[in-house]
Structure 1
Amino acid sequence: MTLEIKNLTGGYSQLPVLHQVSFTVAAGELVGLIGLNGAGKSTTLNHIIGLMRPFSGQITLNGTALATDPVAYKQQIAYVPETPILYPELTLREHLALTIKAYQLAPEPAWQRAQELLTTFRLANKLDWFPADFSKGMKQKVMIVMAFLTEAKLFIVDEPFYGLDPLAVRDLLALIEARKQAGAAILMSTHVLDTAQRYCDRFVLLTDGRVKAQGTLADLKAQAPDPTASLDEIYLAMARGEQDA
């Protein structure tokens, strides 16, 4: 199973933000989408999850094109947004029930999996709480639990570490690794490059809505003036070079 982005050009209204963006995310792979503010990361993710319509190009997942069969395409995706989005009138229990129904999961194993995730993220005693009762970090954990409750083929994770305590970050990374080993494809946008360097299999580096470079850390180092540079140093050097050009 592979997410494939081909020559994606898109943006807001008639203003292109992305220019001929192409990359893949394969099954069993964690790919880091890296870029400064305004580089096009969120716009790319919004196109992949179907919130925005491309000006041109193609997005396919496991051979299913978003443009021609959006329902079958979106059924394969779970999304953790940068800013938690919860229904104020629903409890945590009702959010989980809604997720189970929306993804047509078998109730008994789904609730068992939910209980395991709630325990991991220390939310097991919060089932009857409403979103107003949660801190930002707890809301982020709820989004993570709902996404990883599913059997999605592709997980889109946007800036997941902000608001999480160190223990929750560790638990999320372990969860991502487990789903990756189980064959899911994972695309993660993040500014936390030292963590990305340790956990991602490949990277897509965006600057000004274009793919500046992509590949493994070894591939990126081979393109950098300093072969010992960190991911952070490699990206900043490429971004500065783009701005100075």
Structure 2
Amino acid sequence: MTPPLALDIDGTMTRPDDSIDPRFFDVLPEWDAPVVLATGKSFPYPVSLCHFLTIPQNVIAENGGVVLARGDLTTNGDGEAARRVAEEFVAAGYDLGWGAPDLINRWRETEVAVARDQPLGPLEEIAAEHGQEVVDTGYAYHVKSPGVKKGMGLQSVADLLGLDPAAFVAVGDSENDVSTFGVAGESYAVANADAKAKDAADVVLDESFSAGTLAVLEDLRQRA
């Protein structure tokens, strides 16, 4: 029996050019256990990806800020506080870094993402003043409520699916996947992962990006 999966998207299901590896469109619909897409992206992205993969919409978005499973939607975190941080950051002369229209933050409910070419120090200072924290996912700085993490989202999804979180196999590539690795029973960091993800994972793969994730899935299928 194949295990349930918790898969990060960017850097994990993508190729080096940021495109989704098309092989997932064959592998995941045939997976005979729940698949959860866990991402720092805003809610519509993983929901849409589930739709096009033709798999159930089991989703952890915004680093645990939004959770969906079996039609049950839960929102965590203080989105208003995150938006106040963004407003002060811009008022101080900085920029969120996405241009107009800002399609990165347009649909975010519980956090704000800032481009990594913007100064981190002032962002962290303003965030702390509003009781928020900043997490670097390798793709953006995420301003979010402390304690809201992907791992918390996985616990919620597992409960909704009637599964033990320890039954899940997690694959990821960045700091925001560390909490997921701590909840899942088995965890893998792809070779392109950052140092914190590699330190937290049970196994660091030789292969990078989607190639690493697909290798894990093939190994799991052979073991089943």
- Tell me the TM-score normalised to structure 2 length: 0.35
Q: Which structure has the higher relative contact order (CA within 8 Å, separation 6+)?
A: 1
Work out which of the two has the higher radius of gyration on C-alpha atoms and give 1 or 2: 1
Return the structure number with greater strand share: 1
